[in-house]
Amino acid sequence: MTTGSREELTPKEVVLEGIGVSPGVGIGPAFILSDDKEQPVERAIIDRDVPREIARFEEAIMTTRHQIKEIQEGLTDAIGQTDASILDAHLMVLDDRSFIEDVIVGLKKQLKNVETVVRLVAKKYADALSKVDDEYLRERAADIKDVARRILRNLHGDTYDLSVVLEHKSLVVARDLAPSEIAALRNDRVVGIATDLGSRTSHTAIMARSLEIPAVMALRDVSTRVFSGDQVLIDGNKGLLIISPTEERLQAYGQVVKAREHIRSELAGLRDEPAETKDGHRIVLSANIELPDDVDAALEHGANGVGLFRSEYLYLTREVLPSEDEQARAYGEVARRFESKPVIIRTLDLGGDKIGTAFQIPRERNPFMGWRAIRFCLSHPAIFKTQLKAILRASHEGNVKLMYPMITSVEEVVDANAILEEAKAELSAAGVPFDGGMEVGVMIETPSAALTADTIAPHVNFFSLGSNDLIQYTLAVDRGNEQIANLYKPTHPAIIKLIQHTIDVGHQYGIWVGLCGEMAADPLLTPLLLGLKIDELSVTPPALPMVKDAIRSLDYPAAQELAAAALSGKSAEHVIDLCRETIARTAPEILELVR
């Protein structure tokens, strides 16, 4: 414990800056989540005690599994199956025979109480995974730590649960916070979350956004700078945590909250308005969805179709592959809900950070550059063809398109199209109706695909730029690594030039070009993307009103001037400054919501 008076440790007002991962403002007393309860007392046992310790361990495993499943079921009802599936990784740890057997062997060899052995085994696994370069495996270390914490609590009968411990509205402060812990929170008792560690793409950040809890991460030492009961203010938009805010600050933020609520209410009125500039230039503004259940949110926010249906979520967390009939029903349901509006279904994109239990995919040192997406599908033509036939059957609705992910060469497109033609022939022979003219496109999310777009264009009907991976692969920056988060720059000159090149090539060959990913959902970048002559933007449903407002506030020639200036820009910072200046002039209300 650091010495000194409370006044010395907590000044009148302290402003800490981190990464805003979930928008919103929260004000309330701090609740410090400590790890002290997780340090078991070590004690020796004798041989005849081992069976009893094993039984305690097995009971704790069963209790932990039950708790996580209960949390997951509650989340599924609240925020949908997709976000709730984050906890599948925790269940996989509980079912990992290597982990369980290491604990049992450790009991017999070390003759220590099971709490001690669980902690040591979990630490061994987590330490090993924490040292690897791959972000996916590093996140598995966090899963192991979280599961171990729950097992230890259950071993010593600790019913510690954030949803119970929080007696009144509080802002939860911790060194780190696991997905299962945040999932157990009661929204009416949590005004915000602040952690020392974390990044925007961490599972905890995703969960916070899904639950609409303001959150700031990567605050470094916030858990040691705040006392329980301190008044704190969190701004998830700007990434700020303010300890002991002044009365003036509180009043100012009260106005900010009211202004943001008013702006959101105004933007909701744009739902049925077209996505077109003031001078009449119109683009397609679509939604990204993961499951048929997401359609309601997309329609509620005014989506003009689906620009990205992530079909792999029909495969995740399943022991058996979805059948052709099951897939056709799911795709057809979405197509019918959108009537004549386009629905673009991305073919299976497993691998990287998405592994389905029905597949035997070997663990790779660098899965994001490994056997995934189109590579996996071309290696499993039977699985691939089943999905293609299901998509073709759904295309009978008349508004379905498909696209292949992670293309790196024209050969992959040719091979995929060949399997598609086989699927068409089999359906025709069986007398099953489908749209023979269904549009087929590719995701441009690798530098090689962007640079050879001219060889790919003759074989497809459209391009869809996947900005998240395009940035990651072009800049060699792991987008989930908080240590280098400052290097992940969507407005880097190389990214802007690759996007511009892809759009120009697409238009040269008479095909349209869309963009999905975080860039599309950032209204600050909307003027730039319009100026680069993008034809379609596909974003998460909550971002639709802001992006539409940015579009409707612009003059198209001004957007083109901005794009020309950006293409000659020397730095990412210069480009984002140009975008910010444009939005400040045309739609200043957006700045209140995004920064």
Listing DSSP states for 553-591 in one string gives T--HHHHHHHHHHHHT-SSHHHHHHHHHHHHHHH-GGGH
The average confidence (pLDDT) of the chain is 85
Q: Which residues contact 173 (CB under 8 A, 6 or more apart)?
A: 30, 31, 32, 33, 193, 194, 195, 222, 223, 226, 232
Q: Are 462 and 401 in contact (CB under 8 A)?
A: yes
Q: Are residues 307 and 390 in the same domain?
A: yes
Q: Which domain CATH number covers 150?
A: 1.10.274.10
| Four-CA torsion 380, 381, 384, 387, nearest 10 degrees | -130
Same domain, 294 and 329: yes
What total number of domains does the chain contain? 4
Q: Are residues 349 and 482 in the same domain?
A: no
pLDDT for res 37: 47
Catalytic hit among 301, 377, 492, 516: 516
Residues 467 and 330 in one domain: no
What average pLDDT does range 4-14 have in this prediction?
Answer: 56
Do 166 and 132 fall into the same domain? no
Instruction: Specify whether 377 is catalytic.
Output: no
- The answer on 167 and 21 residing in a single domain is yes
Does a structural domain hold residue 548? Answer: yes
- 523 assigned to some structural domain: yes
Q: What mean pLDDT comes out for the span 51-62?
A: 88
pLDDT of residue 33 exceeding 60: yes
Q: Considering the domain boundaries, does residue 271 fall inside one?
A: no
Rounded Cα distance between 187 and 141, Å, is: 27
* Same domain, yes or no: 47 and 168: no
Quick one: 374 and 295 in the same domain? yes
Domain extent at residue 550 = 439-595
What's 218's domain CATH number?
3.50.30.10
The answer to whether residue 268 is domain-embedded is: no
Q: Are residues 414 and 298 in the same domain?
A: yes
Residue 264 lies in a domain: no
pLDDT at residue 415 above 90? yes
What stretches of 269-380 show up as alpha helix (H) in DSSP? 295-300, 324-337, 373-379
Report the range out of 116-130, 144-158, 563-577 with the highest average pLDDT. 563-577
Q: If you average pLDDT over residues 182-201, what whole number do you get?
A: 77
pLDDT per residue over 464-496, tens digit each? 999 988 998 999 987 656 677 778 899 999 999
The mean per-residue pLDDT over the stretch 203-211 comes to 72
On whether the CB atoms of residues 453 and 505 are closer than 8 A, the answer is yes
Residue 178's closest CA among 213, 146, 137?
146
For residue 332, the tally of other CB atoms under 10 A from its CB is 20
- Interval 344-385: pLDDT, tens: 999 998 754 444 444 455 555 555 566 678 998 999 999 999
Position 83 scores a pLDDT of: 53
Query: Which residue among 200, 227, 248 closes a domain?
Result: 248
For residue 275, the model assigns a pLDDT of 96
Co-location of 74 and 21 in the same domain? no
**Does some domain include residue 253?**
no
Contact 505, 246 (CB under 8 A): no
Are 455 and 407 part of one and the same domain? no
Strand partners, 29: 231
Enter the DSSP assignment of 276.
B
Return d(Cα 45, Cα 59) in angstroms, integer.
Answer: 19
Q: Domain of 595: which CATH number?
A: 3.20.20.60
pLDDT band at 508 (very low <50, low <70, confident <90, very high): very high
> Is residue 259 domain-resident?
no
Q: Work out the average pLDDT over 94-112.
A: 88
Which entry of 203, 301, 377, 492 is annotated as an active-site residue?
A: 203
Point out the least confidently predicted range of 4-8, 113-117, 401-405, 504-508. Answer: 4-8
Q: What is the reported pTM?
A: 0.70
Q: In this predicted structure, which of 178-182, 292-296, 465-469, 519-523 has the lowest mean pLDDT?
A: 178-182
* 454 and 562 co-located in one domain: yes
Q: Which amino acid is at 67?
A: Q
Answer whether residue 490 is part of any domain.
Answer: yes
CA separation for the pair 267, 301 (Å, rounded): 10
203 catalytic residue (yes or no): yes
- Asked whether the predicted pLDDT for residue 232 surpasses 90, the reply is yes
Residue 516 β-bridge partners: 466, 538
